Amino acid sequence: MRKIKVVIPVLSANVDNYIRALEKQGVEPVVRHSTEGLETDDSDALLLPGGIDVNPKRYNRENVACGPLSDELDELQLSWLNKFIDEKKPILGICRGHQLINIRFGGTLIQNVENCKRHAKFSLTCLDRFHDAEFHDKDSWLVGIYGNEFTINSAHHQAVEKFGEGLIPQLYSTPDGLVEGSRHTGLPIWSVQWHPERCIPEKTPLGVVDGAKIFEFFTAEIRKRTQL
């Protein structure tokens, strides 16, 4: 029986944490640095990882508060995203990936959240802050994984503003109400604003969720559709 293959499209970013998280589920990560082979790639699913800000021109806004941008990275990831959307294959977005999916469906972003210090990383060497999150939708895909309220990590200064077509919010930070998770109503697409690939019980404060369960969920959803 062959392994499930999941594409991770990046330019030069370190995606070792994502690779390890997928490999623990028996999945074969396929890192793509270009669109070469895009049309013929037969991978089973797509993972859009965290990274730098998406250029606001992608959602028809001027740049007023973004960090470093890369049109090349935006184009690379949108090309792979469009392929998997067209093929109706499973997609998981994390942080930047969560935001890029929203933009792809016509949504917009807050370029710098009001309470940024609560959500943004400490420094280049200390990435995560931690805060609680809760559901406003009892049917959220995340309720079955973690329950109604739990603690997650956080390393972002942007967030979803207007939701894209077909996407619905599923998880919010407390008490400030930023969207921390979503899903698509008609396609196998799920996303989180936080970083489950870094939520490892032995490396995070007591009470923070086990991020591996996100990858377990994603792998199970892929298996349903591929019968692997």
pLDDT reported for residue 189: 98
pLDDT reported for residue 117: 58
Q: What's this model's pTM, rounded to 2 decimal places?
A: 0.94
pLDDT reported for residue 159: 95
User: How do the domains of the chain map onto residue ranges?
Assistant: 5-226
pLDDT reported for residue 118: 54
Architecture of domain 5-226: 3-Layer(aba) Sandwich (3.40)
Checking if the pLDDT of 224 tops 50, the result is yes
pLDDT reported for residue 220: 96
Q: pLDDT (tens digit, 9 = 90+) per residue, 85-130?
A: 999 999 999 999 999 999 999 999 999 987 655 556 554 445 688 8
Q: How far is CA 109 from the centre of its chain?
A: 14
- As a residue count, the chain comes to 228
Q: pLDDT (tens digit, 9 = 90+) per residue, 192-214?
A: 999 999 999 998 888 899 999 99
**How many other C-beta atoms can be found within 10 angstroms of the C-beta atom of residue 42?**
7
